[in-house]
């Protein structure tokens, strides 16, 4: 999400939040937390506060009225109960509806990753409220921290098991080239005349987006936030802002550069953005060229990939680049981590287990 958009949503959410949350946001902003991180925290806090009200764990009837005193009165078991609630909560499936038009309830529970993000966010908040003097009252809001003893949620799955599930949803070997050729040559044969009109308008852009993700491993948000001046065609590099607002210069595979150049030649003539629109990738919204959204890219990737092989996400295209790069570099984990913008190679270890035939070869030679 764009920084400006995230800041707008933060301001909107703060109008529904207790005053001490504004102190928290000011402190974390000064600590250089990214707006997107703060926004996700606020969403988690809004959910937690709503649960406190519904479960009658506090006397207040609305979130904005919640006092620090009410939070300070909470016992440790409340944190345990909320964790149990998250572990049993069903996903909200807005894409499927019942016959009466109501959202169909999902049978799947929240992922362990989602639950852990909630818990981490609450630990950050309660640590601040119970330790920091940097607020309007000049002393900690809370006398104790009910979140400090809550254990983290871990995925009970080995890296190899995760890699096995992931491998079938990657474009490995020659499939990257075949996928791009499918978008350009095969997909249009499946379209109606009306759909063909939009396909022809967006073909170069869609190919460029897919090629960029497959040739650089950029995150979806990084692709969305690209500006025209961020790409260097002389150096095959792109300037991005990574997580934590860290600036980075990322290399792009040479095969992707042609697709990017083709798109750039038609960007102005086909989309007609005004001179103030800096976004590299744009789409038409109500007749106006605007920065493309992450949701639009997700739908576009789903559309093309479903017909080619298996429905994938932009993040799976990032996984594809990581896996292919790790293999082509001879297993250079540091190089792969740097390309992906990982601060630690621990996050990158997953790709060691994808297409790793060393163990199989060793067993077969016994």
Question: Cβ atoms within 10 A of the Cβ of 238, count?
Answer: 22
pTM of the model: 0.66
| Spatial separation of the C-alpha atoms in residues 43 and 7, rounded to whole Å | 13
Quote the pLDDT of residue 291.
Answer: 94
Quote the pLDDT of residue 178.
Answer: 94
Q: What SS3 state is found at 346?
A: coil
Residues annotated as catalytic (active site), given as ranges = 219, 243, 315, 318, 342, 351
Half-sphere exposure of 85 (CA within 13 A, CB side): 15
One digit per residue, pLDDT tens: the chain, 366 residues? 567 888 999 999 999 999 999 999 999 999 888 888 899 999 999 999 999 999 999 999 999 999 999 999 999 999 999 999 999 887 765 555 666 666 666 667 788 888 999 999 999 999 999 999 988 889 999 999 999 989 988 765 554 555 455 555 677 778 899 999 999 999 999 999 999 999 999 999 999 999 999 999 999 999 999 999 999 999 999 999 887 778 899 999 999 999 999 999 999 999 999 999 999 999 998 889 999 999 999 999 999 999 998 888 898 898 888 888 888 888 788 888 888 888 777 666 655 555 555 444 443 554
160 closest CA partner among 364, 363, 357: 357
- H runs (alpha helix) in the chain: 3-14, 19-30, 35-54, 68-72, 76-88, 112-131, 159-167, 175-181, 193-216, 220-224, 254-271, 294-308, 314-328, 333-340, 358-364
Residue 106 to residues 39, 48, 97, 345: CA-CA distances in angstroms? Answer: 25, 21, 10, 35
Quote the pLDDT of residue 264.
Answer: 97
| Spatial separation of the C-alpha atoms in residues 166 and 320, rounded to whole Å | 10
| Spatial separation of the C-alpha atoms in residues 219 and 205, rounded to whole Å | 17
Quote the pLDDT of residue 98.
Answer: 65
> DSSP for 94-163?
TT-B-TTSPBPPPSSBPPHHHHHHHHHHHHHHHHHHHH---STTSS-S-SS-TTTTPPPP-----HHHHH
43 closest CA partner among 14, 78, 8, 76: 14
| Spatial separation of the C-alpha atoms in residues 115 and 86, rounded to whole Å | 6
| Spatial separation of the C-alpha atoms in residues 224 and 292, rounded to whole Å | 6
Quote the pLDDT of residue 16.
Answer: 95
117 closest CA partner among 21, 41, 14, 7: 41
310 backbone dihedrals φ, ψ, rounded to 5° = -150, 145
Polymer length of the chain: 366
What are the contacts of 218-221 at 24+ separation with CB within 8 A?
218/250, 218/318, 219/243, 219/314, 219/315, 219/318, 219/341, 220/294, 220/297, 220/298, 220/314, 220/315, 221/1, 221/36, 221/294
Quote the pLDDT of residue 1.
Answer: 54
For tokens 């790069």, the residue is 325
Please, is 168 exposed, middle or buried when counting C-beta atoms within 10 Å of its C-beta (0-12, 13-18, 19+)?
exposed
CA dihedral (134, 140, 142, 144) in degrees, to 10, reads 120
| Spatial separation of the C-alpha atoms in residues 308 and 179, rounded to whole Å | 7
């Amino acid at each position: 999400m764009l920084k400006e958009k995230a800041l707008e949503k933060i301001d909107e959410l703060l109008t529904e939040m207790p005053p001490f949350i504004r102190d928290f946001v000011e402190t974390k902003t000064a600590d250089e937390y990214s707006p997107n991180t703060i926004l996700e925290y606020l969403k988690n806090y809004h959910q937690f506060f709503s649960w406190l009200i519904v479960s009658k764990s506090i006397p207040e009837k609305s979130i904005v009225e919640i006092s620090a005193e009410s939070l300070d009165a909470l016992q440790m078991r409340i944190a345990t109960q909320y964790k149990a609630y998250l572990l049993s909560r069903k996903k909200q499936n807005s894409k499927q509806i019942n016959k009466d038009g109501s959202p169909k309830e999902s049978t799947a529970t929240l992922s362990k990753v989602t639950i852990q993000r909630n818990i981490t966010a609450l630990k950050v908040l309660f640590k601040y409220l119970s330790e920091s003097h940097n607020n309007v009252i000049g002393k900690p809001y809370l006398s104790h921290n009910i979140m400090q003893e809550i254990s983290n949620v871990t995925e009970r799955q080995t890296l190899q098991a995760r890699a096995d599930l992931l491998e079938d949803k990657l474009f490995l070997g020659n499939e990257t080239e075949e996928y791009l050729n499918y978008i350009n040559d095969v997909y249009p044969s499946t379209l109606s005349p009306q759909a063909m009109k939009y396909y022809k308008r967006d073909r170069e852009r869609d190919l460029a987006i897919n090629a960029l993700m497959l040739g650089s491993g950029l995150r979806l948000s990084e692709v969305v936030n690209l500006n025209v001046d961020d790409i260097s065609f002389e150096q095959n590099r792109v300037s991005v802002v990574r997580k934590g607002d860290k600036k980075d210069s990322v290399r792009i595979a040479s095969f992707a550069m042609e697709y990017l150049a083709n798109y750039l030649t038609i960007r102005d003539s086909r989309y007609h953005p005004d001179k103030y629109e800096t976004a590299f990738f744009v789409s038409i919204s109500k007749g106006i060229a605007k920065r493309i959204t992450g949701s639009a890219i997700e739908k576009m990737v789903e559309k093309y990939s479903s017909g080619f092989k298996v429905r994938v996400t932009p993040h799976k295209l990032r996984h594809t680049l990581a896996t292919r790069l790790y293999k082509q570099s001879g297993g250079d984990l540091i190089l792969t981590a740097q390309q992906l913008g990982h601060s630690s190679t621990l996050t990158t270890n997953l790709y060691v287990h994808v297409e790793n035939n060393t163990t199989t070869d060793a067993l077969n030679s016994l």
